Amino acid sequence: MALLSVSDRFVELWTKDARREEKEALEAKIFDLWLDCLSEREIEEQVSVTQKTINNWLSKKRTDSLFTQPPASWQHFDVWNFNRLHFPALMAAGSCAICAAALDKIRMTR
């Protein structure tokens, strides 16, 4: 009986989509934990990823235009002034800072 031989290149090619999906799922889990106000060190303890990698992934997510601009549906009816909230700085501080800033803004408008 002959053994089949497969090169590393083909194994990498065949598993490319599965590895990408696994990475995306892990990034989503890390972002969810961060939104739950866990620190990068606490996230590191829960997932098998270094804090530096977590920081890089979160930094990439923080600068995504999806998170720095209000949704189109809110732009006409928004009670918050997104320009004055300076979301990139708030995102760098953590999601809890966003919640606090939003609540402060709501209190000021009443």
**DSSP per-residue string spanning 25-66:** HHHHHHHHHHHTT--HHHHHHHSSS-HHHHHHHHHHHHT-HH
d(CA 56, CA 102): 26
| pTM flag (> 0.85) | no
What residues make up the domain containing 28?
10-62
Q: Is residue 90 part of a domain?
A: yes
Query: Do residues 30 and 53 share a domain?
Result: yes
Q: Is residue 1 part of a domain?
A: no
Q: What is the pLDDT of residues 16-42, one digit of tens each?
A: 999 999 999 999 999 889 989 999 999
Mean local confidence (pLDDT), 56-80: 71
Within a 10 A sphere around the Cβ of 54, how many other Cβ atoms?
Answer: 22
Query: Do residues 88 and 44 share a domain?
Result: no
Reported confidence tier of residue 47, pLDDT bands at 50, 70, 90: very high
For residues 63 and 26, which has the higher predicted lDDT (pLDDT)? 26
Q: Is residue 23 part of a domain?
A: yes
**Least confident among 7-21, 41-55, 56-70, 90-104:** 90-104
